[in-house]
């Protein structure tokens, strides 16, 4: 589509917006949002952090987007290959620049995100924008580089499967999902990782499809001036060409009955139970999702009755926790327990099921609910004390929603959750027909 001059002028006036920090908002910092004509969204958050800046390039692509059969693991692969550099700044030169700046550069990948981040001195902002914009637009690697990195990825996979929780997660996903790409972990299926060195041309197409301005959000937090920062971003990113091609991720059909499995860990470990329920894609205005978050805390957190019973009183487990993730599509709401004695596995599962049944039948105490809300609010806010901690807490919500407004919306819903809402969430998600249960046991005693 070609933009007319009128449309471009209108876009220029509408694309920049201030998100004020006012009394009725939860997120405490002012956010400046601007979208370049090529679709690149920029979020700037000035904060009192003399001389410090965090710079995040959030790619809204993760292992979720790996829809082609036999091609899992490539989102994670690009977390690595991006450090190979460009013709202008080859990998070694890029590394030496980062080192000379005294900066800290790293990256991570998950189901819905690949993020690259640096922490550095504010005086080096232009150089950081220069080297980051260059590799996102002009990444360059040859076949030998690709094959070396692909081989290293398989080495990382082999290292990961020495962790029993990684082995368990791989099995749970595979059993719980039929067609959705959450079926495989971010690392990918082992058979695909082994075959990755043959996928050189595919890797190039992956970069062309997903590493485009419409699919990336720049998040810059810290000691920055908005006008100067935006001038630099326009200078270095303005020529980045559009071309994002979203994946056609297949929807997961409804689950119609409980699924169970056991997995053997080749080594010594206590038995680990993973009880997973199909959840709800992240919608910050969903009262049921907000209630599920709080239920995870109330039913399985360190202040819960079940935690006190299994961990402190009976001492049957040495770990118990729930995970209610915010994801782009249907996630797994999971309850983990590491059991001290194998003969107690069945009893611990029954205790988890009885706890859920209790939340389905009996309203939670109003004071306990109010305390859980306070802990969530304060836990989030207390983690916003440095530019990097602010950026890291926003990266996932940006990947899933495209911005930060979801923070205010979600915490607004959390404040409104009632005991009846908790019961509704318990009945909606935590049902036997919606459940996948996997138990991991070790081979060594």
Tens-place pLDDT, residues 133-187: 999 999 999 999 999 999 999 999 999 999 999 999 999 999 999 999 999 999 9
**DSSP per residue, 109-151:** E-SS-EEEEEEEEGGGHHHHHHHHHHHHHH----HHHHHHHHH
**Under 8 Å CB-to-CB from 85, ≥6 apart: which residues?**
91, 92, 93, 94, 135, 139, 140
Listed as ranges, residues in the chain with pLDDT below 70 are 1-24, 445
pLDDT of residue 25: 87
pLDDT of residue 24: 66
The class (CATH top level) of 5-237 is alpha beta
Q: Which residues pair with 117 in a beta bridge?
A: 56, 106
- Contact between 316 and 340 under an 8 Å Cβ cutoff? The reply is yes
Q: List the beta strands (DSSP E) in 104-251.
A: 104-109, 114-121, 216-222
What would be the CATH architecture of the domain defined by 259-444?
2-Layer Sandwich (3.30)
Question: Where in the chain do CATH 3.30.830.10 domains reside?
Answer: 5-237, 259-444
273: left (phi over 0), alpha (psi -120 to 50) or beta: beta
Residue 164 main-chain phi, psi, to 5 deg: -60, -30
30: left (phi over 0), alpha (psi -120 to 50) or beta: beta
Global pTM exceeds 0.85: yes
Distances (CA, A) of 171 to 167, 250, 439: 6, 20, 10
């Amino acid at each position: 589509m070609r933009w007319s001059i009128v449309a471009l002028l209108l876009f220029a006036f509408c694309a920049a917006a201030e998100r004020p920090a006012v009394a009725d908002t939860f997120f405490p910092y002012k956010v400046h949002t601007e979208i370049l004509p090529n679709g690149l969204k920029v979020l700037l958050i000035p904060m009192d952090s003399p001389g410090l800046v965090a710079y995040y390039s959030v790619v809204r692509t993760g292992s979720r987007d790996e829809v082609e059969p036999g091609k899992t693991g490539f989102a994670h692969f690009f977390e690595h290959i991006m450090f190979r550099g460009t013709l202008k700044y080859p990998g070694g030169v890029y590394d030496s620049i980062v080192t000379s700046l005294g900066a800290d550069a790293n990256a991570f990948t998950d189901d819905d995100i690949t993020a690259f981040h640096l922490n550095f001195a504010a005086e080096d902002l232009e150089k950081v924008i220069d080297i980051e914009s260059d590799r996102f637009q002009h990444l360059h690697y040859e076949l030998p580089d690709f094959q070396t990195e692909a081989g290293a990825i398989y080495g990382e996979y082999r290292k990961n499967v020495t962790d029993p929780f990684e082995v368990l997660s791989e099995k749970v996903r595979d059993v719980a999902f039929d067609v959705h790409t959450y079926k495989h972990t971010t690392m990918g299926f082992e058979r695909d990782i082994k075959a990755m060195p043959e996928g050189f041309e595919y890797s190039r197409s992956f970069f062309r499809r997903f590493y485009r301005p419409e699919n990336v959000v720049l998040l810059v937090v810290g000691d920055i001036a908005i006008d100067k920062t935006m001038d630099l971003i326009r200078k270095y990113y303005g020529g980045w060409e559009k071309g994002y091609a979203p994946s056609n991720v297949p929807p997961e059909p409804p689950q119609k009955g409980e699924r169970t499995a056991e997995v053997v860990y080749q080594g010594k470990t206590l038995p680990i139970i993973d009880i997973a329920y199909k959840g709800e894609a992240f919608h910050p205005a969903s009262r049921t999702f907000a209630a599920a978050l709080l239920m995870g805390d109330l039913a399985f957190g360190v202040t819960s009755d079940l935690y006190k019973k299994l961990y402190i009183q009976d001492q049957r487990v040495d770990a118990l926790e729930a995970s209610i993730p915010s994801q782009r599509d249907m996630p797994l709401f999971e309850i983990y327990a590491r059991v001290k004695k194998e003969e107690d596995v069945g009893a611990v599962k029954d205790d988890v099921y009885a706890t859920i049944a209790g939340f389905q039948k009996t309203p939670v105490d109003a004071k306990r609910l109010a305390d859980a809300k306070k802990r969530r609010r304060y836990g989030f806010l207390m983690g916003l004390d440095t530019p990097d901690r602010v950026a890291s807490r926003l990266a996932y919500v940006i990947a899933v929603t495209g911005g930060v407004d979801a923070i205010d919306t979600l915490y607004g819903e959390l404040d409104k959750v009632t005991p009846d809402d908790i019961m509704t969430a318990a009945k909606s998600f935590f049902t036997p027909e919606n459940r996948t249960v996997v138990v991991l046991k070790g081979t060594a005693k």
